[in-house]
Every structure is written in structure tokens, then in C-alpha cells.
A = this chain, B = another copy of it.
Amino acid sequence: MKDHPMSNIKIDEARLWDSLMTHAKIGGTPDGGICRQALTDEDRAGRDLFCQWCRDAGLEISIDKVGNIFAIRPGLDNTLDPVAFGSHLDTQPTGGKFDGILGVLGGLEVMRALNDANYQTRRPLLVASWTNEEGGRFPPAMLASGVYSGKFSLDYANDLTDSEGVRFGDALKDIGYVGEETVGERTFHSYLELHVEQGPVLEDESTEIGVVNGVQGMSWHKLTVKGRESHAGTTPMPSRLDAMAAANRIISVCYEQANAIVDAKATIGIIEAQPASPNVIPHTVNFTVDLRHPQDTVQQGLVRKMLDATAIESEIGFTISHEEVFRSPALHFDQGCIDIVRKVATDLGYSHRDIVSGAGHDAVYVSDVCPTGMIFVPCEDGISHNSIESITPAQARAGVEILLGAAIRLAE
């Protein structure tokens, strides 16, 4: 590896931005967002344009049976596994222009910049576009990277149906993206994913690059508190079995814990009281609790404190039912990949900080099968999954420069 392999390799900010803006027209909405759900006509058009651009850049394209697209730039030794990078091109129904797309088109820009500099890496490079990351039409999210890494079977994916009853397998066939390649057969030396942060941390700290250390642990809980319905006017406070009062105490504990522990998060997104009359003490309150922390032991501690709070209410006389509807353990990315991303950011003079991803990404599943790292760039007000999702051309370029630098180092 040369001392400064990137000195003559230049990311073309205008070309990168133009590609992002051109691609954003596919499924583009009047308010500046994108509606391009997986396996729709818009998804097909987005894939087609990406493949065309890859071929224009001299990349060799292979598609696997779950529709993942791999575009390869040969290296000096093509017997070696490629260094891969990428993300996804599908969006939420009211998605923005950068979530996922920056990682794919940024990967393409890496290839184009290497072509411009006529630079040959030792290992081949590969840009991946994973099918159905969002999962809006075909839950669960991160489906096809999950099939690639062995988390889900191909049959499981193909048999999923959307809300209209359309099978995933049929929809994939309809858009012409059932490839020949056996899913998971192609192995990577390593995998990098550039993504918008989807949170406010980098922007709040005026930091250009997030060195993603991993993904926080999370679990979702559905709680139902049952007490006793009675009259708001005639029932003294000590005689009440007020389900809302009990729910409020449990919720307070969740917030207090999350506020007291650095990087912990508690969210109560859904709540409703029954029978929902202003002067009737609720007999039932249903609510959800989302608890997260970068370390599983701490995340499980949050869950335990919540359950302790429900146990106190049970002793008082409430009937509490609790269901953990979803759990994703904390993940720490490959230390080598993390260190390389951090070093490139330092070398290139970008302000950076280590950060833990609050959301899941294709990199989560890919990390099961090869050393993986992620790069975050800030997004305006931390807003994502929204038509107003916004980054600047300079922020996009910064992210791609880190991706380029890290990929070159991994490919030596």
C-alpha cells in the first residue's frame, strides 16, 4: 500500500450529486421525496438506471436469486474476495433521497473515481444494492441482506406477501430481477456501508463523519395494564385501581432510567386508555415501550427495571400483561474496519466521532459473515424516512471520500 494512495484519486462532488438528483427522479414525489418501495415499477426503474451506470463504468454485474445486485471492479488479484460496499435503493412510502441511496451511488462514485485515476486495487471491489431493506411493502426490514447472510431462507423471503397478497417471489420475477447467482455463495473480504445518520448527533456537534462502532441493542414491548373501571367523581384516590395511574408510573420509570444512563433510550410511541371517557377511571391502558442501549447488559437492565415497575403494580392489584414483540441484540462492528474508517477520517482532516447506530442497516446482517464497518454523514435536523430528508453535496462527498479511502486500504 502506497503512503498516500488517494492523493491522485478525486471524488467528483458534482458528478456524485448529479447522480443522486437524477436517480431521485425515479419515484420522486412533488414534495421532494421518493416513493420507491421494493419490487415496484419504480424500484425496477431505479435498479435499471443503476445497472446502466455500472456498465458505463465498466463494472461486471451479477444478480442473485433474491435480487441483490453486485457490480464488480476487478483488482490485481481476482482470486481474492472483493472488498464490498453498498446499501439499498428502495425507500419508505414517504422516503427521502439519501437513505440507502447515498451508500449505493456513493459506492458507484468510488468506482468512477478509481477509473478516472486509473487506479488498480489489489483485491476486486464490489458495490452491492440489497433488495428490500426498508421492508415497508414486504416486512421484515433488511430482508435480502438477511437471506445473503443466512438469517432468513430464500423460501421465507419468496413466500412473504404484501398487503394486497402479492408474493415477494412473484413481484421480484415481475420486475425481472431474479438472478442466477445462489444467494450467499459470493463471499466478501469485508463490507463497508455509507449511510445518513438518521439522527441529530453529528449535526448537533458540527461533526462531519460518524465512525460507526456498532448498532445498539433494542427491544419492543407491548404492555397492558388492567385495573378497575370506576366513577371519577365518586371514587376516592385510595380506593382506585386506576390503570392509567399505574401505566403512568411504569412509564415514568422507563423515562427516568433512560435519562439517567448515557446512551440509553426509552420511547412510548403508542398509548390508549379504555373506556376512554373523561370522567371514567380507565380499566385498561395499552402502551408500547421501545428500549435501546449500545450494550446488551445495559439494555437488558432497562427492560428489567421496567418489569420491576410492573411487578410493583401487580402487587398493588393490577393485572399486567407484557409481551416482548421484537428484540435485536447490540452489535459491535469489526474493530479493524472501525479503526480504518477512523484513520481515514483523521488523515483526510474531517472532524469525526465514534457513534453507535440507532437503527438497523444491511450492514447488521452482513457483519455476520464478514468484517464490517459503517460510515455516517449528518442529515439535516436528523430527519429521515421523510420527504424533507436532506444533506449537502459537501456532506455527501465527505462520506464518499471516507468510503473510498477505507475501501482502498482494505483492498491492499
Complex copy number for this chain: 2
**CA–CA, A116 and B278, complex, Å:** 47
Is A333 in the interface zone, CB < 8 Å from B?
Answer: no
A75–chain B nearest beta-carbon distance, Å? 35
**CA–CA, A244 and B277, complex, Å:** 19
Known contacts A230-B383, A255-B248; is A199 also within 8 Å of B235 by CB? yes
Q: Which residues of B contact A272 (CB under 8 A)?
A: 271-272
Q: Are the CB atoms of B278 and A288 closer together than 8 Å?
A: yes
Picked from B268, B271, B288, B382, the residue with its CB within 8 Å of the CB of A231 is B382
**Using a CB-CB cutoff of 8 Å, which residues 195-225 of chain A contact chain B?**
197-201, 204, 216, 218, 220
**Using a CB-CB cutoff of 8 Å, which residues 369-412 of chain A contact chain B?**
382-385
Q: Are the CB atoms of B258 and A359 closer together than 8 Å?
A: no
The SS class assigned to the A binding surface is mixed
Is A237 in the interface zone, CB < 8 Å from B?
Answer: yes
Q: Are the CB atoms of B265 and A269 closer together than 8 Å?
A: no
Is A251 in the interface zone, CB < 8 Å from B?
Answer: yes
Picked from B244, B255, B282, B383, the residue with its CB within 8 Å of the CB of A245 is B255
Picked from B258, B273, B359, the residue with its CB within 8 Å of the CB of A233 is B359
A65–chain B nearest beta-carbon distance, Å? 31
Q: Are the CB atoms of A276 and B267 closer together than 8 Å?
A: no
Q: Are the CB atoms of B244 and A268 closer together than 8 Å?
A: yes
Is A242 in the interface zone, CB < 8 Å from B?
Answer: yes
**CA–CA, A245 and B248, complex, Å:** 10
Assign chain A's interface to a size class: 35 or more
Is A279 in the interface zone, CB < 8 Å from B?
Answer: yes
Residue of B nearest to A279 (CB): B290
Is A232 in the interface zone, CB < 8 Å from B?
Answer: yes
A324–chain B nearest beta-carbon distance, Å? 12
Q: Which residues of B contact A201 (CB under 8 A)?
A: 234, 236, 239
**CA–CA, A276 and B258, complex, Å:** 20
Given A198-B231, A244-B269, A270-B277, output 9 extra A-B contacts at Cβ < 8 Å: A201-B234, A233-B292, A235-B265, A239-B382, A267-B279, A268-B282, A269-B278, A271-B272, A271-B285
18 inter-chain pairs at a CB distance below 8 angstroms, sorted by A residue, are A198-B231, A199-B230, A200-B236, A216-B233, A218-B233, A220-B278, A230-B383, A231-B385, A232-B265, A232-B358, A233-B359, A234-B384, A244-B251, A248-B251, A269-B273, A269-B276, A269-B279, A270-B276
